[in-house]
Amino acid sequence: MHQSIRFFQEGLKNLKTVGTITRSSPFLCRKVTDMVDFNQARIIAELGAGDGVITRHILPRLHPEGKLLAFEVLPQMSEHLLQIDDPRLIVVEDSAEHIPVYLEKENLQQVDYILSAIPFVVLPQELSLNILATCRDVLRPGGLFVQVHYSLLAKKLYEETFGNVRVHFVPWNIPPAFVLVSERI
Ligand SMILES: C[S@@+](CC[C@H](N)C(=O)[O-])C[C@H]1O[C@@H](n2cnc3c(N)ncnc32)[C@H](O)[C@@H]1O
């Protein structure tokens, strides 16, 4: 079955976790990954990796010695991530607030970039705030937190957590999307 149809079915069944029924378009994936300086980046965390559509845009550009930790809570989604054969990819079938546990396991201290498609708008606010505070703690100073959204409802969460946020609009996605970028000061 085509990946987009499978994603549609899983999105519909788990709307409160997935937050959408469509995976990110190539334009949106490109916009998200264009926020990364791949010459500098070594450690990237991807949150809410789904079936790996953004993951597959990151890996071809990732440094040969880089590492990508991809977090995904739904096994129906992560089974696709586990099929990606790349030694730099670490698939984590766990919730994103546990990033520090997996960094420690991999002997890593900090993360250069966090790319997230977690639907913070539909998650309980306490969980969202908890994940975002963890992200701020594990990002290196100057590191970027990059978030995909379909509205600006959650923009204040990033302003409150990071003290800054830039908004980019991506019309070529269903639905049209925003990419919000905050810097860890
Ligand atoms: C909007 S989908 C994005 C999927 C894919 N990255 C894309 O861009 O098409 C959001 C994903 O976040 C996952 N997710 C939701 N809460 C999560 C959490 N606490 N930790 C990790 N992943 C989570 C969902 O299962 C879903 O696969």
Which one of 6, 18, 58, 95 would you pick to mutate in the ligand 1 pocket, going by the greatest count of ligand atoms within 8 A of its CB?
18
Query: Residue 181 CB: number of other CB atoms within 10 A?
Result: 17
pLDDT in tens, 33-53: 999 999 999 999 999 999 999
Query: Is ligand 1 within 6 A of the CB of residue 57?
Result: no
Which one of 15, 17, 173 would you pick to mutate in the ligand 1 pocket, going by the greatest count of ligand atoms within 8 A of its CB?
17
Closest ligand 1 atom to residue 55 Cα is: 6
Instruction: Indicate whether 60 pLDDT > 80.
Output: yes
Instruction: Indicate whether 1 pLDDT > 80.
Output: no
Main-chain phi, psi angles of 170, to 5 degrees: -120, 100
Query: Residue 63 CB: number of other CB atoms within 10 A?
Result: 14
The structural domains of the chain, with segments of one domain joined by +, span 24-183
- Is this structure's pTM higher than 0.95? yes
Query: Is ligand 1 within 6 A of the CB of residue 77?
Result: yes
- Alpha-carbon distance of 53 to 122, in angstroms, equals 21
The CATH class that applies to domain 24-183 reads alpha beta
- Alpha-carbon distance of 128 to 185, in angstroms, equals 20
> What is the predicted pLDDT for the residue at 8?
86
Instruction: Find the Cα–Cα–Cα–Cα dihedral 96, 12, 53, 139, rounded to 10°.
Output: -20
Residue 31 has which token pair? 């916009």
> What is the predicted pLDDT for the residue at 21?
87
- Alpha-carbon distance of 176 to 159, in angstroms, equals 22
77 burial via Cβ count (<10 Å: 0-12, 13-18, 19+):
buried
Produce one character per residue of 82-117: b if its CB has 16 or more CB atoms within 10 Å, e if not. eeeeeeebbbbeebbbebeebbeeeebeebbbbbbb
> What is the predicted pLDDT for the residue at 17?
87
> What is the predicted pLDDT for the residue at 2?
81
pLDDT in tens, 130-151: 999 999 999 999 999 999 999 9
pLDDT category, 129, cuts 50, 70, 90? very high
Percent with pLDDT over 70 in the chain: 99
Ordered alpha helix ranges (H), 20-154: 26-33, 55-58, 75-81, 99-105, 125-138
pLDDT in tens, 151-167: 999 999 999 999 999 99
